Structure formats: C-alpha cells, structure tokens
Structure 1
C-alpha cells in the first residue's frame, strides 16, 4: 500500500472521509503540515528580530507590516487576474522562498536593525499571504459539505507542522545558525508547493484552472460591495483586535513578573506548545463534528463565548495565570475551531471572490485589525482589569457576528444550490 493510500485509510477512520476523498485529504493535510512547519521554523527567528528592533518600537513594526500588506495585495491581485492557478501557486511560493534566501545572505554576518525590521515585516506578511492562498485553494477544490467534514482535519495538518517546526529549529539552530534556518524554511515551503500542485491536479473542472481576469483592485471592490464579505471582514478585525489586546497584556504581565530572559523564553515556548497541541486536538476531533452538528455559525461563536468567564475573572484578579489561560483558549480556539469554520464560509462565494476578496480579508484586513488593536491598546492606557472589561463586549460582538454569518452562509449555500438546479433543468 502506498503512503497516500495508507494515510487515506487512516483518515477515513478518523474523520468522515468518503470514497474518493482520501488521497486529496492526504495531499492537503501534508501540504499544510509542511507550510506551517516552514513558518514555525521562522517564528523564533522573527521573535529574535523583534528583540533587535526593541519592544518599545513593536507597534511601528505592526504598522509597517500593514503597509507591506497594502503594497503586496495589488501585486497579488495582478497575478491572480492573469495567471493560471498552478502558475499562481508556483509564483507566490517561489518568490517567498527566493526572498528568504536573500535574507539568509544579508543576515549571515549578523542582522542590522534595518535588516531585522525588514525580516520581521516580511515574515509577518508572507505568512498570511501563503496561508490565505492555501485556504483559497482548499475552498476552490472542496464543496460545501466536504469543507464542513474535512477542513478540521486539514487544519490539523497545519497544527502538526506547528509542533514540528519549532522542534526543527531547536535541533538545528546550533548547526546551521539563525540565518541557515531561512533556507530550511524555504525548502519546506517548496515541498508544500509540490503537495498543493497535487491537490490542484485532482481538480476535475478544467475551467477552474483558468486566469480570473479583472482589475488588481477587484478584491477590495468585492469586499466593499458584498455585505457577506464585509461581515467576514468585520469578524476578522474583531478577532484580531481581541487577540492583540491579549498579546499586549501578556507582554505587560510577563514583564511585571520579573522573570529572566531564559525563563521568559521557556514560558513562551510552553505556551506555543500547549496552544498547538490543543488546536490539533480541536481540529482533528471536534471542528468537523461541530460544523456538521451545530453549523458554522455556532462553531464561530463558541470560542468568544468561552472567553467571557475567564475575562471576567481577569478583571477581578489581574494575574498572569488567568491571562495565560485566556491566551491558550483564544489562540487554540482561534486555530482549532474558528479558522476551519471561517474558511468554510468561502465555499459559498464565487471563485473570483475566493482568490481576490479572500486574500484582501486574510492579509490587509487581518493586519489592519492587528495595527488597530495595538494603537487602541496604547491610546486607552488601561490597566489589566480595564482591558479585560473592554474585551468582554468585543467577545460578545464576535459571538453575535459569528452566528449572523452562519445564517448568511446557509442562505448563500441554498441560493447557490438553487441556481445550480435551475441551470441543470434549463440544460436538460
């Protein structure tokens, strides 16, 4: 039995994988595994660049990241309008790997502040771009019912890679150096590309491989014109702002704990490990079942509702332990439940929206939410209890919006199915 066949049989036992879907699930799972392994090899490098920049300047790094997104998105829109899907994937992944190789040469003798800032911004930009393109490919390839059943397991491939990537870094950094890790990451990205091309090659509709055409600004225009896409954008902004508030409070409380640099590094590593392990369990065992039984909307609402009690406790007891629990629930739930459900929303839109509007939402809108959260946190000047109290209505709004989106998703799917049936009837 070949590796894909064996993995397909295992996947069929773990999830509701139907005949003919196993190999596709294997290549999607493996592609996301390699993609996030490559990113998490780089994540410690990015954090080291953050130290070089200086913690008091990180909000400017967030702002420059947003500016980088605004520069990249028109170029991506231009490429999506003109390139076939295989070539679009190869171009985006190839450029990312080539830039990483260029940074490897520039920091081999030590990173200047300018180089550190550029690398920090690039890693933050490319991560969202390639992950967005990955999920766009998945939404383009899988149908509505398949997405609800299989996206949780595909997301679990990414969380598995998120566990392996830091391990690769820990075991190899002394051998290859910090700069050498950039080449390791580039190699993993190119292997991920090979897996994604297998997914694309199994697409039965030849027309889906054609260039999309249109303007490079079409994605922004579609988001502005579609209430459904605008609601997804608002969901992303609220989730980003809430996550940024928690991130900044974590930094404040960890600093107040007066831990050594080594102890802080161990703490952050333990948080990442716990987040990725919990997210993996949620994705593999719960996300698909929740979306099938409760629907996409309740799956989106579950995490912000779960955060309400620990946020109230943090307001009364502003201690690091409670904050770390919130961070664990927020990040693991975001990756494990909200992300697969959010990606399922895009199976109910047309192909152009998947490749253009979705990229704008996943990149520019997401980083805009990060930057907004960073500056709101700085401007408010609230102590930890005040931040926790401010986060509670944001979490309620996020849950409400998730439910609304779930209802809109069902109407979108029903409308698409009715249109398809009418087209078949007219053709017969």
Structure 2
C-alpha cells in the first residue's frame, strides 16, 4: 500500500512545499479571475454587436503579434521578480478603463468598447496564464516539474470552478440586463480585479521564498536580450521551433475538431436550451475528471512513461476524433471525444509542455514560451477555423473536412515525438 501511495503521491521535500503551495494558490486566483470575466465578455460581445467572429479572431492574432515584442522589450528591461507585478497591474488598469468607457460612452462608443473587450479578453486569458507559468517554471527543475506540475494545475482547475461559480451567482444580474453598469457585471469585474491583485501578492510571497535547491531563482536579474528575441529564437532554436510548430498544429486541429463537432450538435438539436444543457453536461464531466487526472495521475505518468508518449498521443487522439466524426457523426461521439481531448489537454499535455519549458534558457522561458502560448496558439486557432470554413465554402461535406484533417493529425504526432526528443528530458 505504501509503495502504491508513494508511486501516485510522490514525496514533497520540505524546502519545496511552500513554493508548491503558493504556486497552487497563485494559479487558483489567476484562473478564478479569468473565469469570472467570461460571462462579462459574452455580454459585451452581444451588446457590442459582434457577429463576424472570423474577423475578430484575426484581430486577436494581430494584437497578439503586436503585444509580444512590447512584452519582450519590457521583460528585457526589468528585474524578473517584477514581471508579474508590472504585467498584472497593467491588466488591472485595463479592466478599470473598460468599466469607465462602458459607463460613460454613448451607444456607439459602447459597441466599440464591446468589440475591444472581446479581443482584449482573449489576449488577457492567454497572457495571465502564460506569465503565471513563466514565473513558476523558474522554481522547479525538470525532475521536480514532473512531480508537482499536475498538482499546481489542479489549483488552476479549482480556481476556474470558483470563478465560474461566482459568475453563476451573479447570472441573475447579467441575464436580461442591457447595461454593463448593472450590479452583476460590475461585481464580476471587481471580483476579477480582486483575484488578480491577490495573485500579485502571492507571487511576491513566492519570489521571496527560499529558492528550490535544484534551480536557483535569480530575483534581481534582468532577462536582457532584444524585443524580437522570441521571434528569432523560434527560427534559430530547434527545440523551441519544434514546440512552436507542435502548439500551432494542435490548436489548429483542436479548433477544427470543435467546429466540426458544433455542426454535429446543430444537426442533433435545433433547441438552444437543449444545446446549452449539452455544453453544461460536458463541463460537468470535464471538470472532475481533469481534477482527478491532475491530482492522481499526471505526476505518475510523467515520471513513469516520460514526455515522449504524452506529446505523441495528442495526434493519435485527434486522429481518432476526426476519423470518428467522418464515419460516426453522432452526439455521443462528440461528448466522449470532447471530454477525452479536454481532459488530456488540461490534465496531462499542458503540464508536460510546461515541464519541457523548464529545460529552456532563461530568455526562452521568459519570452519564447509566452509567444508560443499567445501568438502561436491564437494563430493556430485562426487557421484551424478558417480552414474548416473555406473547405465547406468550396463544397466539401463536413465528413470530408474531417478526412482532410487526418494527415495533419499524423504530422502532429511526428512533431510531438521530435519535440520531445529534442528537449533531451
């Protein structure tokens, strides 16, 4: 029994318990902040008159591309211990500005505020999470990451649940209201600001903690380098380039799979309430399964089978998904495959990618990983969605679109294998 317990629950050293606990709490409040904002984003999108999402996705990609050099320049100039303070404080000021704009602008100004907020939220969600991991991966080496990153990810899952639960609490204020100045949305935005502020405080406590014995955290050092270093390193650095290609492929394929599944869902039911209930059912299944994976199995699988099978599996899962959608396009298939892919992503693949990032140089950890998680990932989303749209416009049935994605899924597995080998973990 003790051997099983030690296998699934690796021992935590005394010197790393506090950084682990604070990382857990840090991620909890980061995701609580974002998940509370999601319904406000959707409300602003509706009031802002956002109907042509492909153009919005393109705008998100462009904004990501513009922000990354600015972020890299800031990171090059400030001490690493202040990155979270500067970046998160910037986002808090943004939230306050959006509240002021929405409260004092006229109808046309509110529409543009809604459009801007929708784009901003997508930038926000990726940057705050990526900056969190940029901070945390400096406290654990690769071996430690395999043991603790699953537990840290569980903190994020619990925070997401807390944030979405808070949003549901105020849902009666959001639904049926026409103004962001109503109590519900304002409360959610202030709640999000409070969570982000707590995350800043926890991060400060984390940076003042004793460094992990295996990997010193240099709090007073400046990362250095140039503002375009993240772009150039993706071209020059083989491990970084392979991970960027891996992220581009899986985000594109995941978006394509989701769009195909939406078509299947639409054919299954024309009742919005029934479809909403189905989406809620997916969330109810994914959340507990992801927590179980993160707490009980992520560490075990990372230590026992390593990163190569895990990074390779994504392509295999998506290959199965597209093959099933092409031959057996049913609502049951959508339910099972969506749950499988999402639990795999949040419970295993994301912690594995962050484990790979611990082996990168300081410049790549602070710059390239953020670019991959923001600009590269959003670019993959855009091209995945546009590919499905274009293929259907040219007359391909949705089943044929699924077949067309199969070779790309195979390529994803190949790239995942090469990226894992190149990391030399």
Contact 2:22 2:206 in 1 (8 A): yes
Match of 2:294 in 1: 283
Match of 2:412 in 1: 398
Contact 2:246 2:415 in 1 (8 A): yes
Q: Which runs of structure 1 show a deviation greater than 6 angstroms over 4 or more consecutive aligned residues?
A: 10-13
> How far off its partner does 1:292 sit?
0.6
Deviates more, 1:323-332 or 1:372-381: 323-332
Match of 2:125 in 1: 127
1:263 to 1:50, Cα distance in 2 relative to 1, 3 A:
farther
Match of 1:64 in 2: 59
Q: Tell me the distance in 2 between the aligned counterparts of 1:308 and 1:13.
A: 30
Match of 1:374 in 2: 385
Contact 1:233 1:365 in 2 (8 A): yes
Match of 2:263 in 1: 252
SS in 1 for 2:297: helix
**Equivalent of 2:421 in 379, 404, 407:** 407
Match of 1:182 in 2: 189
Contact 2:257 2:322 in 1 (8 A): no
Q: Tell me the distance in 1 between the aligned counterparts of 2:299 and 2:397.
A: 38
Match of 1:389 in 2: 403
1:320 to 1:387, Cα distance in 2 relative to 1, 3 A:
farther
> How far off its partner does 1:101 sit?
2.0
SS in 1 for 2:170: helix
Contact 1:141 1:203 in 2 (8 A): no
Q: Tell me the distance in 1 between the aligned counterparts of 2:97 and 2:118.
A: 14
Is 2:85 aligned against 1:90?
yes
**Equivalent of 1:113 in 87, 111, 114:** 111
Match of 2:76 in 1: 81
1:82 to 1:203, Cα distance in 2 relative to 1, 3 A:
farther
Taking structure 1 as the reference length, what is the TM-score of the superposition?
A: 0.87
Contact 1:29 1:154 in 2 (8 A): yes
Higher helix share: 1
Contact 2:48 2:110 in 1 (8 A): no
> How far off its partner does 1:49 sit?
3.8
Deviates more, 1:210-219 or 1:244-253: 244-253
Contact 2:260 2:402 in 1 (8 A): no
Is 2:95 aligned against 1:100?
yes
1:25-424 mapped onto 2 (5 Å cutoff) = 25-52=20-47, 56-108=51-103, 112-174=110-172, 176-202=183-209, 204=211, 205=216, 207-381=218-392, 382-410=396-424, 413=425
Deviates more, 1:361-370 or 1:168-177: 168-177
* 1:163-210 deviation per Cα after TM superposition (whole angstroms, max 9, x unaligned): 221111011344532233112111111111222222222253464431
SS in 2 for 1:140: coil
Gaps of 5+ in 1: 1-9, 414-428
Taking structure 2 as the reference length, what is the TM-score of the superposition?
A: 0.88
Q: Tell me the distance in 1 between the aligned counterparts of 2:96 and 2:78.
A: 24
Q: Tell me the distance in 2 between the aligned counterparts of 1:228 and 1:290.
A: 22
> How far off its partner does 1:13 sit?
8.7
CA RMSD of aligned residues (A): 2.4
> How far off its partner does 1:379 sit?
1.2
Q: Tell me the distance in 2 between the aligned counterparts of 1:73 and 1:66.
A: 11
Contact 2:54 2:386 in 1 (8 A): yes
* 1:191-250 deviation per Cα after TM superposition (whole angstroms, max 9, x unaligned): 112222222222534644311122111111111110110000000001110111122223
> How far off its partner does 1:320 sit?
2.8
1:398 to 1:55, Cα distance in 2 relative to 1, 3 A:
farther
1:387 to 1:274, Cα distance in 2 relative to 1, 3 A:
farther
Deviates more, 1:111-120 or 1:370-379: 111-120
* 1:119-144 deviation per Cα after TM superposition (whole angstroms, max 9, x unaligned): 11111001111111111112111111
